[in-house]
Amino acid sequence: MSKINELFTNKLNVINVGIANFRDDLLKQNANVTHLEWTPPGRGNPELIAALDKLEDPSVTDKIAAANKEAVERIINSQPVLIGFDQAINVVPGMTKNTILHAGPPITWERMNGPMKGAVTGAIVFEGLAPNIDEAAVLAASGEIIFSPCHEHNCVGSMAGVTSASMFMHIVENKTYGNIAYTNLSEQMSKILRMGANDESVIQRLIWMRDVLGPILRDAMKLNPNGIDLRLMLSQALHMGDECHNRNVAGTTLLIQALTPYIIQTDFTVEQKKEVFEFVSSSDYFSGPTWMALCKCALDAAHGIENSTIVTTMARNGVEFGIRVSGIAGNVWFTGPAQQVIGPMFAGYKPEDSGLDIGDSAITETYGIGGFAMATAPAIVSLVGGTVDDAISYTTKMAEITTTENPNVTIPMLDFIGIPTGIDIQKVIQTGIMPIINTAIAHKDAGIGMIGAGIVNPPIEAFEQALLALSENIK
Amino acid sequence: MTVQVLVKPNTYIDSVSLMSLSTKANQIEIVEQAIIAMGTEMNKEVIRNVGLMTPEVESAKTSDLVIIVKAASEELCEGAFDSINDLLTKKKDSSKGKSEVKYSTITSAVNGTPEANLAIIAVNGSYAPREARKALENNLHVMLFSDNVSIEDEIELKTLAQEKGLLMMGPDCGTAIIGNVALCFANAVRKGNIGIVGASGTGSQEVTVRIHEFGGGITQLIGTGGRDLSEEVGGIMMLAGIKALEEDDATKVIVLVSKPPAPSVEEKVLAQIKQCKKPVVVWFVGGNEEKVTQAGGHFAKMSKEAALKAVLLAGADESKLNKRALNLPLIEEVRAKLNPQQKYIRGLFSGGTLCDEAMHIAMEKFDNVYSNIQRDPEYRLKDVRVSQDHTFIDFGDDQFTQGKPHPMIDPSTRIERFIQEAKDPSVGVIVMDFVLGFGAHEDPVGAMLPAIIEAKQAAEDEGRHLEIIGYILGTELDSQNIEGQINKLLASGATHASSSQNAGLLAREFVVKGE
């Protein structure tokens, strides 16, 4: 029977695009109908539609599909393992005593926002390059300090992302592909350098982290020959109700549980070890950076695959939101203006106090956790505006702009489907659906710190530029 | 017995899921025993204990997924692995969660609703071809409601549909009935044994409604879009539609509705009619009888005639039909009321083919018939805002719909024009259609009513009779209540025509002078 004759005999099941009244009339006649939440692709911009058409030409779709398949397989198959801790100067590629790494795409001192300037000057004082914050600012403006994005040094950094030579770093090795990713240690509480605070208490904590916490973790991991399989641990943390960006309760417990047998074997005093455990229990964020390094490690393995339209980086410097795409190798950033984060704030602060979206932590959403895995973290649905259903729909919506599910990291509440994986620029521009990012809010001024948390979307301009570049690059 | 091992390196599944997977795997008929587990030391111990240890399993790592199958033969083991892979990838429907899944693209909607079989696309014409292409690529039949789609795009889409054996109705296709479900603009009509392929929306609606009134019914109404029978498109969808209806067991008679095709296309259509095993009634507005008859088709000059021929061919008893003949005494009466200056018809239509039909009926007796849809440029209105002699306006044409809803939904433009025409002392008759059914205005007569009453009063005050003919296209099954619509119309003092054909004939006869 021909397909047309099959249509005559089968029950009509319609996909309705456009006028909603047609759906209503179909429902009145008991037909099955799915009404699309349709918007013009590329916001109706003919240049973008032409670029989409070019990428969907039969001569290239197979190539793109193959490239994207490889990219997501590399993300999924990556096995990032925590293999140690050490000071940045000893391990991070290109690190020097007067280099300061920062979050997001490249930015100059003059253009940095309050929290990032606060963090930079604090780090300069911490490194002993200047005696106080004021002189640190003079030094930062002098050209003597080299500023560079974390991402361009195999690193990621929370919030301001400010990383200096003597800070201790996680070292995470991708056992499948061999690449390594680094990230700073969590400073825990809210008045901290990465949020732009830089007073004496902040510097003192950084010194303690450099002299006690870091060395203990370094020595502890030297005693662990196999390292800690972070992906297995991430998967467990998701099953325990973390989305591993804004909620890290379970992950922190699992991580310290894995580290403890080695920490207690180190040569430090009981008092110092006790300080470490108290520090970890002082907030739940201890494992936050750890997951970021895992995600960075997996995504770097998928970067630079010719013809791939998969996003491998989303990061913000507080002024600009930048992305990198697998099909355009190296450090080519596509940017748009950083957005305001919407969400609950600590008592006494108002939305106008908030600095714009900042940090490399959107690497978690790029991998498929954080906002993309909201359905797994019902405990923090209040951050995203309400109900468990809302949280589930955040995750299911992200499936529309991603390539596949990661079977290694699953969501119990959604019957163990994998996290949405491999953001596809084509799908973002086609649907107009933007990635959802869970994140913290820093005060807009230097020296204050965290004032809230919530959700934010990237600026669509970054994705539009990336699409145009991809369509020109396609081979 | 054969034991085979499959190690999926670096694949994590949590232990609870693994337990349920193992249970299901052991229920697979061909499986003697199956184990699905992560390669941990503890699991290896269990595997050792049940005697299924192999070197491969021994070397599996903690993060590797190990699948062991014991079955009667190697072949059966392979089959079992396939079934287990299905279990690993298959998700229950509940995976979508409780909240309703909302899709933004056709492709994702099809992935979520694999039983979807048709897409209705009604978006801006500049985006429409892209969406239609996506739908066809996803093996959906398409009803493309959007207009302002280029003929190049139409040809490309229809060629793709043809290659895939799919329907590509439109662009600019507003009417279809598939499997007794009315799509977009269509009337609620009885199910029956007459299939229609229509290149014109309201023309097809008119035929279905008349068939329904004659007691017949419809199998399918396939819309093709108005350009299908052009030289360029070559009637791709009309030919595919005829073929499908010919192969459809439920269809006994086929009716074709269109404006006259391009000559080369007409040949193709007639050739197909000639081969068709089923009777085909052809109503091509203004078409040629001889060619149709030669091809073995049944020619109809007008819409009611087409419906009548179809129901008779489908088995109706002619003696029992109410054919609603023209009311000749009424014609005499109205002629007497109109003064000698009232020479002209003004047709104000929301339906394009209804306009075309009335215009062609007028053209049989008058040479000075103007319209915005006249094919002869000499008789096309120079300024669509200004009427001339006999004028028929299709308010659904592009000049009136740019940036505005169709007049079947939004009557405002037509109301303004009606008021203007009613003031013209050379006008004898104003004829209008009121389309009911799915997609249409909920009270089209009511919207026009105050203007009708006012205009008739004003004419009377000037000592002239203004004759208004209203035709209501609809059935008693339509939601607008056709009875109520007719009563409203009659109460305003207008004349009710029982069909599109009769509306045109009455209008013409009312103003014919000197017979």
C-alpha to C-alpha distance for A458 and A316, rounded to whole angstroms: 9
Is residue B418 within 8 Å of B455, Cβ to Cβ?
A: yes
Give residue B18's pLDDT band: very low, low, confident or very high (50, 70, 90).
confident
Least confident residue range of A110-114, B48-52, B188-192: B48-52
Report the chain B residue with the minimal C-alpha distance to residue A427: B105
Report the chain B residue with the minimal C-alpha distance to residue A238: B14
A21 vs B17, B117, B439: nearest CB: B439
Is the complex ipTM higher than 0.95? no
Tens digit of each residue's pLDDT (9 = 90 or more) over B253-284 = 999 999 889 999 999 999 999 999 999 999 99
Calculate mean pLDDT across residues B182-197. Answer: 97
- B38 backbone dihedrals φ, ψ, rounded to 5°: -75, 150
Token digits for A429? 């521009």
Angle separating helix axes A249-263 and A270-281, nearest 10 degrees: 170
What is residue B500's predicted lDDT score, i.e. its pLDDT? 97
C-alpha to C-alpha distance for B64 and B84, rounded to whole angstroms: 16
Calculate mean pLDDT across residues A106-130. Answer: 97
Contact A18 B122 (CB under 8 A): yes
Give residue B88's pLDDT band: very low, low, confident or very high (50, 70, 90).
confident
Q: Say whether pLDDT at A93 is over 60.
A: yes
Report the chain B residue with the minimal C-alpha distance to residue A229: B63
Q: Is A16 on the interface with B (CB under 8 A)?
A: yes
Calculate mean pLDDT across residues B133-158. Answer: 96
Give residue B16's pLDDT band: very low, low, confident or very high (50, 70, 90).
low
Nearest to B346 by CA among B495, B467, B452, B259: B467
Q: Is B463 on the interface with A (CB under 8 A)?
A: no
Q: List alpha helices for A209-360, DSSP H.
A: 214-222, 230-239, 249-263, 270-281, 288-300
What is residue B97's predicted lDDT score, i.e. its pLDDT? 41
Q: Which of A262-271, A338-347, B121-130 has the highest mean pLDDT?
A: A262-271
Q: Is B104 on the interface with A (CB under 8 A)?
A: yes
Contact B110 A414 (CB under 8 A): no
Q: Give A-chain residues touching B131 at CB under 8 angstroms.
A: 17, 38
Q: Is A79 on the interface with B (CB under 8 A)?
A: yes
Q: Give A-chain residues touching B220 at CB under 8 angstroms.
A: 8
C-alpha to C-alpha distance for A237 and A219, rounded to whole angstroms: 25
Mutation for testing the A interface, residue in B10, B12, B113, B185 having most A CBs under 10 Å: B12
Least confident residue range of A140-144, B283-287, B480-484: B283-287
Give residue B200's pLDDT band: very low, low, confident or very high (50, 70, 90).
very high
What is residue A423's predicted lDDT score, i.e. its pLDDT? 98
What H or E segment, with its residue span, contains residue A65? helix A58-77
Q: Give B-chain residues touching A15 at CB under 8 angstroms.
A: 106, 109-110, 113, 116, 118-120, 135, 140
Nearest to A262 by CA among A271, A252, A273, A272: A273
What is residue B94's predicted lDDT score, i.e. its pLDDT? 42
C-alpha to C-alpha distance for A132 and A105, rounded to whole angstroms: 27
Q: Say whether pLDDT at A208 is over 90.
A: yes
Calculate mean pLDDT across residues A114-121. Answer: 97
Give residue A309's pLDDT band: very low, low, confident or very high (50, 70, 90).
very high
Q: Give B-chain residues touching A36 at CB under 8 angstroms.
A: 103-106, 109
Least confident residue range of A61-75, A170-184, A251-265, A446-460: A446-460
Tens digit of each residue's pLDDT (9 = 90 or more) over B357-396 = 999 999 999 999 999 999 899 999 999 999 999 999 999 9
C-alpha to C-alpha distance for A72 and A403, rounded to whole angstroms: 7
Looking at chain B, the whole-number percentage of residues with pLDDT higher than 70 is: 96
Q: Say whether pLDDT at A199 is over 90.
A: yes
What is residue B9's predicted lDDT score, i.e. its pLDDT? 81
Q: Is A4 on the interface with B (CB under 8 A)?
A: yes
What is residue B51's predicted lDDT score, i.e. its pLDDT? 86
User: Distance (Å) from the C-alpha of residue A418 to the closest C-alpha of chain B?
Assistant: 10
Q: Is B41 on the interface with A (CB under 8 A)?
A: no
What is residue B398's predicted lDDT score, i.e. its pLDDT? 80
Q: Say whether pLDDT at A117 is over 60.
A: yes
Give residue A273's pLDDT band: very low, low, confident or very high (50, 70, 90).
very high
Looking at chain A, the whole-number percentage of residues with pLDDT higher than 90 is: 85
What is residue B420's predicted lDDT score, i.e. its pLDDT? 95
Calculate mean pLDDT across residues B506-512. Answer: 96
Is residue A295 within 8 Å of A369, Cβ to Cβ?
A: yes
Q: Say whether pLDDT at B501 is over 50.
A: yes
A22 vs B120, B124, B241: nearest CB: B120
Give the type of residue at A306.
E
Q: Say whether pLDDT at A386 is over 80.
A: no
Q: Is A40 on the interface with B (CB under 8 A)?
A: yes
Is residue A462 within 8 Å of A335, Cβ to Cβ?
A: yes
Q: Is B141 on the interface with A (CB under 8 A)?
A: yes
Q: DSSP of B424-460, one letter per residue?
A: -TTEEEEEEEEE-SBTS-S-HHHHHHHHHHHHHHHHH
What is residue B96's predicted lDDT score, i.e. its pLDDT? 42
What is residue A384's predicted lDDT score, i.e. its pLDDT? 65
User: Distance (Å) from the C-alpha of residue B344 to the closest C-alpha of chain A?
Assistant: 38
A49 vs B102, B130, B140: nearest CB: B130
User: Distance (Å) from the C-alpha of residue B110 to the closest C-alpha of chain A?
Assistant: 8
Task: Report whether the peptide linkage leading into residue B171 is cis, meaning its omega lies within 30 degrees of zero.
Answer: yes
For chain B, what's the residue count?
A: 515
A415 vs B94, B117, B146: nearest CB: B94
Give residue B67's pLDDT band: very low, low, confident or very high (50, 70, 90).
very high
C-alpha to C-alpha distance for B53 and A123, rounded to whole angstroms: 56
Q: Say whether pLDDT at A261 is over 80.
A: yes
Q: Say whether pLDDT at B60 is over 70.
A: yes
User: Distance (Å) from the C-alpha of residue A380 to the closest C-alpha of chain B?
Assistant: 18
Q: Say whether pLDDT at B506 is over 70.
A: yes
Contact A29 B182 (CB under 8 A): yes
Residues 173-232 of A with CB under 8 A from B: 176, 229, 231-232
Mutation for testing the B interface, residue in A5, A15, A49, A415 having most B CBs under 10 Å: A15
Calculate mean pLDDT across residues B331-348. Answer: 96
Chains A, B: CB pairs < 8 Å: 206
What is residue A248's predicted lDDT score, i.e. its pLDDT? 95
What is residue B91's predicted lDDT score, i.e. its pLDDT? 54
Q: For all residues of chain A together, what is the average pLDDT? A: 95
Q: Say whether pLDDT at B237 is over 50.
A: yes
Give residue B98's pLDDT band: very low, low, confident or very high (50, 70, 90).
very low
- Say which DSSP state A109 is in: G
For chain A, what's the residue count?
A: 475
Q: Give A-chain residues touching B182 at CB under 8 angstroms.
A: 25, 29
Q: Say whether pLDDT at B92 is over 50.
A: no
Q: Is A407 on the interface with B (CB under 8 A)?
A: yes
Report the chain B residue with the minimal C-alpha distance to residue A42: B127
C-alpha to C-alpha distance for A72 and A427, rounded to whole angstroms: 15
What is residue B514's predicted lDDT score, i.e. its pLDDT? 61
Answer with the residue of higher pLDDT: A452 or B158: B158
B106 vs A36, A390, A416: nearest CB: A36
Q: Say whether pLDDT at B93 is over 50.
A: no
Q: Give A-chain residues touching B181 at CB under 8 angstroms.
A: 12, 26, 29, 31
Contact A36 B103 (CB under 8 A): yes
Nearest to A433 by CA among B264, B7, B408, B103: B103
User: Distance (Å) from the C-alpha of residue A236 to the closest C-alpha of chain B?
Assistant: 8
Q: Which residue has the tokens 């509306």?
A: B503
Q: Is A281 on the interface with B (CB under 8 A)?
A: no
Nearest to A121 by CA among A105, A106, A140: A140
Calculate mean pLDDT across residues A90-114. Answer: 98
- A189 backbone dihedrals φ, ψ, rounded to 5°: -40, 180
Mutation for testing the A interface, residue in B21, B92, B102, B246 having most A CBs under 10 Å: B102
Calculate mean pLDDT across residues A209-216. Answer: 98
Contact B115 A15 (CB under 8 A): no
What is residue A112's predicted lDDT score, i.e. its pLDDT? 97
Calculate mean pLDDT across residues A73-86. Answer: 98
C-alpha to C-alpha distance for A189 and A184, rounded to whole angstroms: 15
Tens digit of each residue's pLDDT (9 = 90 or more) over B390-418 = 999 999 988 887 777 888 888 899 999 99
Contact B104 A36 (CB under 8 A): yes
Q: Which of A58-62, A96-100, B37-41, B102-106 has the highest mean pLDDT?
A: A96-100
What is residue A203's predicted lDDT score, i.e. its pLDDT? 97
Give the type of residue at B476.
E
C-alpha to C-alpha distance for A24 and B462, rounded to whole angstroms: 47
Calculate mean pLDDT across residues A368-396. Answer: 87
Calculate mean pLDDT across residues A12-17. Answer: 96
Nearest to A169 by CA among A93, A245, A261: A93
A22 vs B11, B122, B240: nearest CB: B122
Q: Is B319 on the interface with A (CB under 8 A)?
A: no
